[in-house]
């Protein structure tokens, strides 16, 4: 029997060092569709904690509820039961899995969007946006409209937008999924650099075990739908990590195997 | 046998002036004279003339005014055969010139006081305009001495209430309601004695080729008109018919003066000429000189209709 | 955890209760126009508005009851309803079709688009004589007047909807080997459906407005005629019964369309 | 291949020529309504339509010239334009705002939505005397009549547009820390823009239709008045000059709105 | 100097065995944006041939023109110059990179869409759709609407739709990008099985070199924008390929290195 509280509480306070930044307890999310009278249990009893400054990756089979959990953390979805706490002064920044570039804005305006809403001075906006366009390799396309971008370019715009206003918690839903390995590598390194420098807390959904092991302090593995956390694996490699070196380490393959084993336990087919 | 009856779609407007047709229809006079008549409501003279001239409709009734004169001038091929209605030579008038209660309280008691004031007129080119001009004439004013505002009767009530108009044209049963609600008073009632209001007309070709049908139609109309004008207004059954066609409750119709017509259905051409001159003076006519009414007005058919009716 | 997590019956009930509450709220909301009547009653009772022109709803209820009891009102409703229904269909069908066609074909849009834009603002009073000449003085010309009003609303809304179709959907149809007609039927139509329903609702409201005007003089039945005749005689109570009745007819038509929208556009928010 | 491939100037010219041709085609298409005049001329010349009632455009040109030379027509145009402009703004602004508000807030939509649906079909022609009562017989009541017509078109079109906003855009605003007003301003408004422009075009056309009817009441100027007065006195040529003028005014307003749409909604197809 | 023809021709005819299925010669695609007066050269002088029954993967940096080339092959975009020929009796089936599920249809209706357009009997449609839902693990969601699906599930619907009417040529634009490795592996194996059984010609865009080496007969590597084919690498492994075994082969790492080297030649940043 699982005990869960129906009250949902969200604390906004800056905690002491190494204190938890995100606490999720017994989270359950179910969708009910009236017209089809169907209930979809998207996440069941999800429990995990992310410490302040930690980089956590979530992996799990398609449709297991990863996006759902992230959306709940971002306050975009109400949990059905259970509770979660974010210890942060600002809302977490989110990189959405779906195309989320606003079609009526140019690339630069899209990136500047959170700054604009905050009322940041135009000059400051420009400088910050230029920085992020440079980072994501979109400088040439600053004035282009979203419909003129390739899939990977749109994804990079979303990443730039999430980074632009430098928030404490970063929620990233397969942010590099549509990028070639070269670009992905560059952005991974840039993300790690930013993370190390700023001490952000990052929750990062990925399908690539390689990517998880390259980036994360810990890897959370989810079961198939209804998703729950079936393993919480610390990644033992020192930072900075050398992608090529790491692959020569037996622990890399052991961990890879372990994740694969967990994911294969009860596959959807 | 009924199939052989000539079918006629007759254009009318849903006002009490057209009552003889309603009676002729509902009391079976048209049937009596071997006609299959259907009544089709129409909004105004311009449409009616156009429908008749183009042959889309065969018969209809409409009112005198600049529209009619201009259309005849432009070659509208209609045949006018009888009067529709004229104003009675008695008071209370079916179409009094009224002053708003507000203005009355503010001291406007005579036509002369209306100089520079706002006066409601239902529209340009029709009886309303003529009637207002006649009323103003009683106080030595012309249309140029007042501010003419085009408003139909329902809107006149509102304008009387909020001071938008000081005076205006009106017609029964609206005039009585204005009085009842304390919105207005009758100011002039004797300004349009005997004025010809409208006429009964046919499509030219049809009238030429079916004189007999036209005659019978007129006869049925005259029969209805006589019944009405000789005390018919007090007959419950007739009031029912009129109430139905005009959408006016019977109680409202009772005891209100209405337009009449000459016993034999003839048109008083002098009154028509006077109206034509009036509209010429207004600059509403698009031609010079008097219109050749005789080319469109055929009295022979009316005579035959009277004879037919007398025989019956 | 070997057994998968499942929801208890109470939890399921709680999950469903939300949408049940939604439904209840919607049902209640249908009655919110009664607030208008209440407001009117208050304004009239307190003399805030002139009672000669705006008699309180309670005071016109008697007239309404009379007209209902004598069944008189139903003849008018039926006459109006028939005219609206025929005119609506006559206008909506070509409006939707031409909206779809012009939306999908740039060359046709280039040529016909400006023609429709030029025809649209032509004052109806001006073309009424033409309509009468062609369709006669009977109900046919009333159908046409309504159809014209409905046509343009449907045309522009459908066109606007088609112009907003994401290119990817058209690409999907093309790649699936869709013919022009199939793209039309299976992509453009459903994709423009939300806009079409906006148009249908606007057109429904407009139809009643137009028929009220068309019945003003050129009819001897219908709620519009009843309103006109009442105005002519300053029978204010009767007139308001007519106004309330025709507004209610429009309101229920819009509600019906909203129900249809929920049924036929299940993928949209409502 | 060490040097990247570049386009030659001729190729660039060829690439651009397509959009230049597009632009030319669009410009030409603006004249397609002249086809209507041609059709009318032919019908009238061949006697297909009755010339007494529908004189050929060539034959009303004289009247048009007279009215232009005497500058009479410009007074009418100016009067109508002023009324339409004021009424249009008075109706469009609250229509768009309420459409946005009701679209974004389900509770407000629940309460006010049905009220608007009930008010919409109230026949304008029937309440005209009441509007005159409140706003007087001057221009104010004409502004109000137009504003009411424009309001509902803008309201329903904006609402329909807001209801179609993809959830993800609202999520983006929320995640970016957008306030309610910012979501309103930076997401709902641009997102509903295509629908708002559909509404603006419909409202423009409707305004001219409504003013043509409203100028029958208490006006002594305006193109609508001119049409009506000409019709009353059967001055057919003058009437048709008025009809062509008011239609042209509506047409150019719609063209202007389309140009604005291309400018302000550059992300959409046109 | 590059010679290219401005005439675009497209042959529809069934060729002899091992004949080319797709021939692309000197293909150039440029986009012109009037409002910004900007020209984007998306693909420059692309040349390649795909033989009938061949499985070819295209890799290349983000924004290099991969999608553009595929769209031209699918007839959804007009080339600016150059020519291409498809030797096939039917249009190629395409899996789009962006979300392309039709929101007004259920999952099953989306998959059945091409069959419906072809007027296939309802019963036959049902059987075929059931098969593909099973294959893509969506059977439980047959009656769900697209907005109720996760990102990976939507992608699977697109794949199922492209396979449903069994066309000669399959154009796949990062079809498995949003899938976890487990599901991806299953679908890769299924795709190979179908390909082997039916002799389809497949052009498959991916960002994963692993995936390319697992699936392809040849890997085409594209340069950064304006993209052109910089290498055409045959994959030497026997089929059926064992994913784990393959990684023990030196050629696998040599090829991986070669592709990486080519992609790194002139990266976008
Ligand atoms: N709005 C919704 N309505 C109904 N069901 C939903 C909704 N959103 C998600 N679901 C369901 O919830 C489950 C989890 O979805 P979610 O998007 O969280 O998966 P995910 O782990 O992110 O998958 P993927 O890796 O494919 O993106 C899925 O079965 C999905 O069908
Ligand atoms: N409709 C368009 N208008 C203008 N430019 C476009 C358009 N479509 C694509 N482009 C440009 O063409 C180039 C190639 O785009 P394409 O989508 O083919 O890239 P891709 O190789 O598929 O990239 P990705 O891996 O990111 O999907 C990009 O620079 C893009 O900006
Ligand atoms: Mg997801
Ligand atoms: Mg791409």
pLDDT digits (tens, 9 = 90+) for D85-101: 999 999 999 999 999 99
| Residue-level pLDDT at E13 | 35
Average pLDDT over residues B128-155: 88
β-pair partners for A28: A81
Question: Of A212-221, B102-111, C69-78, where does the model show the most confidence?
Answer: A212-221
Is pLDDT above 90 for B16?
no
User: For a pLDDT cut of 90, what percent of chain E falls above it?
Assistant: 67
Is A6's pLDDT higher than 50?
Answer: no
User: E3 pLDDT band (50/70/90 cuts)?
Assistant: very low
- State residue A82's pLDDT score: 92
Looking at per-residue pLDDT, the higher value among D78 and B52 belongs to D78
Q: Note the pLDDT tens digit of each residue in E64-87.
A: 999 999 999 999 999 999 999 999
Q: What is the pLDDT of residue E265?
A: 66
Q: Say yes or no: C168 contacts chain E, CB-CB below 8 A.
A: yes
Most confident of the ranges B278-282, C76-80, C122-126, D130-134:
C76-80
What is the total count of domains within chain C?
A: 1
Mean pLDDT for chain D overall:
90
d(CA B62, CA B193): 19
Query: pLDDT digit string (tens) for C224-259?
Result: 888 888 888 888 888 899 999 999 999 999 999 999
Q: Which residue has the higher pLDDT, E117 or C52?
A: E117
Average pLDDT, rounded, for chain E: 88
Q: Where are the beta strands (DSSP E) in chain D?
A: none
Between the alpha carbon of residue D203 and those of residues B251, C120, D122, D155, the distances in Å are 44, 11, 18, 11
Mutate to test the interface with E, among A182, A244, A257 (most CBs of E within 10 A): A182
| Mean pLDDT for the stretch of residues E205-233 | 92
Of D1, D5, D266, the CB nearest to E41: D5
**Count of CB atoms situated within 10 Å of the CB of A39:** 16
* pLDDT at residue A7, as a whole number: 36
* Higher per-residue pLDDT: E92 or A245: E92
Residue A13 has pLDDT above 60, yes or no: no
In this predicted model, which residue has the larger pLDDT, C60 or E36? C60
Which range is least confidently modeled, A208-222, A238-252, B107-121, E106-120? A238-252
Residues B17-32 pLDDT 10s: 899 999 999 999 999 9
Share of chain B above pLDDT 90, in %: 23
Contacts across the C-D interface (CB distance below 8 Å): 220
Q: What percent of chain C shows pLDDT beyond 90?
A: 51
Q: What is the pLDDT of residue A17?
A: 53
Helix segments in C46-123, DSSP class H: 57-69, 72-104, 106-119
Q: Is E137's Cβ below 8 Å from some Cβ in A?
A: yes
- Predicted pLDDT at D4: 67
> For C11-29, how does the pLDDT look when each residue is reduced to its tens digit (9 = 90+)?
888 888 888 888 888 888 8
Rounded CA-CA distance D39/D35 in Å is 6
Whole-angstrom Cα distance, residue D174 to residue D177? 5
E113/C168 CB distance under 8 A: no
8 A C-beta contact, residue B79 and residue B296: yes
Within 8 A by CB and 6+ apart from B123, the residues are B129, B150, B152, D216, D228, D229, D232
Which atom number of ligand 2 is nearest to the Cα of residue E68?
A: 18
The partner residue sitting opposite B14, judged by closest CB among C52, C53, C217, is C217
Subunits in contact with chain E (3 or more CB pairs closer than 8 Å):
A, C, D
Cβ pair C121:D227 closer than 8 A: no
The shortest CB-CB distance from E114 to any of C169, C177, C179 is to C177
Task: Give the model's pLDDT for residue C113.
Answer: 93
How far does the centroid of ligand 1 lie from the alpha carbon of residue E150, in Å?
Answer: 4
Average pLDDT for C62-71 = 88
CA C171 to chain CA mean position, Å = 33
CA distance A19 to E90: 62
Per-residue confidence at A265, pLDDT binned at 50, 70, 90? low
Q: Is residue C222 part of a domain?
A: yes
For chain C, the average pLDDT equals 89
Q: Kindly state whether residue C47 falls inside one of the protein's structural domains.
A: no
Residue A229 bridge partners (DSSP) = A222
pLDDT at A8 over 60: no
Instruction: Flag whether residue E79 sits within 8 Å of chain D, measured between CB atoms.
Output: no
Closest CA to C97 of C159, C187, C144, C167: C159
D residues 207..266 contacting E (CB < 8 A) = 266
pLDDT at D198: 95
pLDDT at site E38:
86
Atom 16 of ligand 1 has which residue's CA nearest to it?
A65
What distance in Å separates residue E12's CA from the closest CA in chain C? 14
Query: Look-up: residue for tokens 């030379």?
Result: D69
Topology of E2-92+169-263 in CATH? Rossmann fold (3.40.50)
For residue B127, give the DSSP letter: H
Mean pLDDT to the nearest integer, B135-151: 89
Pick among E115, E116, E117, E161 to test the C interface (most C CBs inside 10 A): E117
D161–chain E nearest CA distance, Å: 17
pTM, 2 dp: 0.91
Which pLDDT score, from 0 to 100, does residue E267 have?
44
Question: How many Å apart are CA C212 and CA C84, to the nearest integer?
Answer: 10
Q: pLDDT-based confidence at E248, cuts 50/70/90? A: confident
Q: Distances in Å between the alpha carbon of B164 and those of A138, B151, B157?
A: 66, 10, 10
Ligand 1 environment, Cβ below 6 A: A 31, 33, 40, 42, 60, 62-68, 97, 225; E 147-153, 178
pLDDT digits (tens, 9 = 90+) for C175-185: 999 999 999 99
pLDDT at C150 over 90: yes
Name the pLDDT band for A9 (thresholds 50, 70, 90).
Answer: very low
- The tens digit of pLDDT for each residue in D180-195 reads 999 999 999 999 999 9
Does residue D166 have a pLDDT over 50? yes
pLDDT at D270 (0 to 100): 64
Of B232-236, C78-82, D176-180, D200-204, the poorest mean pLDDT is in B232-236
Mean pLDDT across B62-74:
87
Q: Which residues of E touch D11 (CB under 8 A)?
A: 30, 80-81
Q: Mean pLDDT over all residues of chain B?
A: 87
pLDDT value, residue D50: 80
Strands B36-41 and A229-234: unpaired
Chain length of chain A: 269
- Kindly state whether residue D46 falls inside one of the protein's structural domains: no
Check residue C1 and give its pLDDT: 44
Residues D97 and D243: their CA atoms lie apart, in Å, by: 33
Q: Which domain holds residue C175?
A: 59-264
Average pLDDT over residues E8-35: 71
Give which of C144, C143, C164 is closest to C222, Cα–Cα. Answer: C143
Instruction: Quote the ligand 2 centre to E64 CA distance (angstroms).
Output: 7
CA C28 / ligand 3 centre spacing (Å): 37
Average pLDDT score over residue span D188-217: 92
Instruction: List the single residue in C1, C4, C7 with the smallest CB-CB distance to A30.
Output: C7
pLDDT at B294: 79
How large is the average pLDDT for residues D167-172?
Answer: 94
Q: How confident is the model at residue E167 (pLDDT cuts 50, 70, 90)?
A: very high
Query: Average pLDDT for residues D5-29, to the nearest whole number?
Result: 85
Query: Do C170 and C187 form a contact (C-beta atoms < 8 A)?
Result: yes
Q: What is residue C3's predicted lDDT score, i.e. its pLDDT?
A: 59
**pLDDT computed for residue E266 by the predictor:** 52
Residue C227 CA to residue B114 CA, distance in Å, equals: 33
CA distance D248 to chain B (A): 25
User: Which CATH number is C139's domain given?
Assistant: 1.10.3720.10
Question: Is pLDDT at D49 greater than 60 in this prediction?
Answer: yes
- Residue intervals in chain A for CATH 3.40.50.300: 2-92+169-263
The answer to whether residue D27 sits within a structural domain is no
pLDDT band at A158 (very low <50, low <70, confident <90, very high): very high
pLDDT bucket at B156, cuts 50 / 70 / 90: confident
């Amino acid at each position: 029997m699982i005990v869960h509280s129906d009250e949902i509480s969200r604390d906004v306070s800056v905690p002491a060092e190494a204190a938890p930044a995100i606490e999720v307890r017994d989270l359950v999310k179910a969708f009910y569709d009236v017209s089809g009278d169907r209930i979809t249990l998207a996440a069941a009893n999800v429990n995990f904690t992310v410490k302040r400054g930690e980089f956590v990756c979530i992996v799990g089979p398609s449709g297991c509820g990863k996006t759902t959990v992230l959306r709940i953390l971002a306050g975009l979805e109400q949990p059905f039961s259970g509770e979660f706490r974010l210890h942060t002064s600002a809302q977490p920044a989110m990189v959405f899995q779906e195309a989320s570039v606003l079609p009526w804005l140019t690339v630069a305006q899209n990136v500047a969007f959170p700054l604009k809403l905050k009322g940041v001075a135009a000059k400051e906006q420009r400088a910050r946006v230029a920085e992020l366009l440079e980072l994501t390799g979109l400088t040439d396309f600053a004035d282009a409209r979203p419909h003129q971008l390739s899939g990977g370019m749109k994804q990079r715009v979303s990443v730039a937008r999430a980074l632009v206003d430098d928030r404490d918690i970063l929620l990233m839903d397969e942010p590099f999924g549509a990028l070639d390995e070269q670009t992905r590598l560059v952005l991974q390194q840039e993300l790690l650099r930013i993370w190390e420098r700023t001490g952000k807390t990052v929750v990062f959904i990925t399908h690539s075990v390689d990517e998880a092991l390259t980036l994360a302090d810990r890897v959370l593995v989810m079961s198939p739908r209804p998703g729950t956390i079936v393993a919480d694996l610390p990644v033992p490699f020192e930072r900075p990590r050398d992608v090529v070196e790491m692959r020569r380490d037996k622990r890399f393959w052991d961990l890879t195997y372990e994740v694969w084993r967990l994911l294969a336990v009860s596959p959807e087919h | 046998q009924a199939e052989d009856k000539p079918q006629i779609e007759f254009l009318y407007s849903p006002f009490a002036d057209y009552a003889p047709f309603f009676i002729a229809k509902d009391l079976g006079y048209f049937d009596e004279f071997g006609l299959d008549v259907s009544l089709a409501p129409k909004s105004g003279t311009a449409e009616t003339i156009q429908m008749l001239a183009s042959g889309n409709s065969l018969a209809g009734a409409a009112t005198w005014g600049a529209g009619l004169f201009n259309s005849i001038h432009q070659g509208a091929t209609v045949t006018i055969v009888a009067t529709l209605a004229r104003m009675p030579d008695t008071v209370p008038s079916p179409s009094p010139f009224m002053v708003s209660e507000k203005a009355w309280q503010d001291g406007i008691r005579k036509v002369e006081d209306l100089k520079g004031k706002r006066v409601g007129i239902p529209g340009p080119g029709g009886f309303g305009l003529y009637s207002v001009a006649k009323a103003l004439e009683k106080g030595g004013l012309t249309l140029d001495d007042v501010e003419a505002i085009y408003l139909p009767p329902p809107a006149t009530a509102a304008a009387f209430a909020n001071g938008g108009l000081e005076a205006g044209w009106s017609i029964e049963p609206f005039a009585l309601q204005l009085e009842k609600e304390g919105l207005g008073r009758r100011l002039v009632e004797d300004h349009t004695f005997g004025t010809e209001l409208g006429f009964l007309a046919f499509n030219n070709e049809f009238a030429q080729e079916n004189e007999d049908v036209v005659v019978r139609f007129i006869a049925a109309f005259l029969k209805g008109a006589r019944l009405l004008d000789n005390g018919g207004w007090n007959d419950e059954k007739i009031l029912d018919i009129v109430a139905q066609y005009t959408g006016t409750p019977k109680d409202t119709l009772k005891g209100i003066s209405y337009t009449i017509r000459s016993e034999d259905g003839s048109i008083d051409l002098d009154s028509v000429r006077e109206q034509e001159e009036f509209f010429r003076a207004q600059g509403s006519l698009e031609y010079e000189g008097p219109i050749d009414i005789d080319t469109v007005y055929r009295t022979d058919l009316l005579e035959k209709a009277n004879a037919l009716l007398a025989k019956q | 955890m070997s057994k998968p997590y499942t929801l208890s019956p109470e939890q399921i009930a709680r999950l469903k209760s939300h949408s049940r509450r939604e439904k209840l709220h919607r049902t209640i909301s249908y009655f919110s126009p009664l607030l208008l009547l209440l407001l009117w009653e208050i304004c009239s009772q307190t003399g805030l508005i002139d009672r000669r022109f705006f008699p309180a709803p309670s005071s016109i209820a008697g007239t309404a009851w009379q007209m209902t009891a004598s069944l008189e009102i139903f003849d008018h409703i039926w006459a109006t309803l028939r005219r609206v229904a025929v005119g609506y269909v006559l206008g909506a069908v070509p409006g939707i079709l031409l909206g779809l066609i012009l939306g999908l074909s740039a060359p046709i849009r280039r040529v016909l688009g400006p023609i429709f834009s030029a025809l649209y603002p032509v004052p109806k009073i001006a073309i009424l004589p033409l309509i009468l000449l062609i369709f006669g003085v009977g109900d046919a010309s009333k159908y046409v007047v309504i159809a014209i009003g409905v046509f343009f609303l449907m045309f522009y809304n459908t066109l606007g909807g088609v112009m907003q179709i994401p290119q990817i959907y058209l690409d999907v149809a093309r790649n699936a080997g869709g013919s022009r007609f199939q793209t039309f039927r299976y992509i453009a139509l459903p994709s423009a459906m939300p806009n079409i329903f906006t148009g249908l609702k606007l057109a429904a409201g407009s139809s009643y407005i137009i028929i009220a005007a068309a019945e003003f003089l050129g009819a001897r039945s219908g709620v519009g005629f009843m309103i006109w005749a009442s105005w002519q005689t300053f029978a204010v109570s009767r007139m308001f019964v007519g106004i309330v009745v025709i507004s209610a007819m429009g309101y229920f038509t819009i509600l019906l369309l909203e129900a249809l929208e929920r049924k036929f556009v299940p993928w949209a928010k409502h």
